[in-house]
Amino acid sequence: MPKKKRSKAFWNSIKFKYKLTIINENTLEEVVGLRVSKLNGLSVLLSVLTVLFVIAATIIAFTPLRNYLPGYMNSEIRAQVVENALRVDSLQQLVDRQNLYIMNIQDIFSGKVRIDSVQSMDTLTTLRKDTLMERTKREEEFRRKYEETEKYNLTSIASQPNVNGLIFYRPTRGMISDRFDAEKKHYGTDIAATPNESVVATLDGTVVLSTYTAETGYLIEVQHNQDFISVYKHCGSLLKREGDKVQAGEVIALVGNSGTLTTGPHLHFELWHKGRAVNPENYIVF
């Protein structure tokens, strides 16, 4: 019984109506009289919340606002996002080419670049693609160690590497687009190749560096016997990691166009011996 009485008292309190009256202060006349209860107030509140929920659901379901919710982006918006990203990348490459073109024009007028070294207008956008590359911290540290160890080695001065018994593999198939030129600080050979062409290790060795940099793109370095090191830049993807053992002719990467300082699919190949860059064409038939 006490429980039923409490329940009855609760419902009576909810249903109990209160009178809200608005009276004219001057005439004391009742202007508005409204009888409400707690149950009426809850009903009105729930009705307002329901209407707001329906309006919000309708806006989200039938307007583009739903694309901003996680998991609701349709295929058309996704395709547009990918297309815009590709356009931005293309525009960035175009701006880089134009900057290289302008810089080379300035160097021609200032005398830093010989006029007879320019075969066509297109070469103005490729002269600096590797000569302007800044060394990464790891490359700088690696070269510094080699230069320090060979600093007082008098036998290494003007000496040719001993390549007896070594057979150098061509790193990739393609045409030479730019040759080794130490005076221009171009310490390698550029090989124009089709995208995703295999890049192979020129000798047996161990991968000492496999990384990505903004300028050189995907980069891999291999330590070989007799103090040779081969460097492969602007790869499309890397297939080996640091510490992997590789054999001569084994595929270690794929040709690509990665990095900001490149204007087309190619492989920039460098060959170093005891901290000194050597001309790859003296050891490899491309």
226: left (phi over 0), alpha (psi -120 to 50) or beta: left
Q: Which residue has the tokens 């909810």?
A: 14
Predicted local confidence at residue 22, as pLDDT: 81
Predicted local confidence at residue 71, as pLDDT: 57
Query: Given CA atoms 201, 207, 213, 218 in this order, what sign does their dihedral have?
Result: positive
Q: pLDDT tens digits, the chain, 286 residues: what are they?
A: 566 667 777 777 777 777 778 887 788 787 777 777 777 778 888 999 999 999 888 877 777 666 666 655 566 666 777 788 888 887 887 887 777 777 777 777 776 665 555 555 555 555 555 444 455 666 677 777 766 665 555 444 444 566 666 889 999 999 999 999 988 889 999 999 999 999 999 999 999 999 998 888 999 999 998 889 999 999 999 999 999 999 999 999 999 998 887 888 999 999 999 889 999 998 888 8
Reference 217, options 115, 133, 118; nearest CA is 133
Burial of 138 (0-12, 13-18, 19+ CB in 10 A): middle
| DSSP string of the chain, one letter each residue | -HHHHHHHHHHHHHH-EEEEEEE-TTT--EEEEEEEEHHHHHHHHHHHHHHHHHHHHHHHHHSGGGGGSTT---HHHHHHHHHHHHHHHHHHHHHHHHHHHHHHHHHHHHTSS-GGG--SGGGGGTTTTTTTPPPPHHHHHHHHHHHHHTTT-GGGTTPPP--TT--PPPSSSSEEEE--BTTTTB-SEEEE--TT-EEE-SSSEEEEEEEEETTTEEEEEEEEGGGEEEEEEEEEEE---TT-EE-TT-EEEEEB--SSS-SSSEEEEEEEETTEEE-GGGT---
Predicted local confidence at residue 116, as pLDDT: 56
CB 256 within 8 Å of CB 247: no
Q: Which residue has the tokens 């590359």?
A: 133
Query: Given CA atoms 173, 227, 130, 253 in this order, what sign does their dihedral have?
Result: positive
Predicted local confidence at residue 7, as pLDDT: 72
Predicted local confidence at residue 149, as pLDDT: 66
Burial of 164 (0-12, 13-18, 19+ CB in 10 A): exposed
Predicted local confidence at residue 202, as pLDDT: 94
Angle between helices 38-62 and 2-15 (to 10 degrees): 70
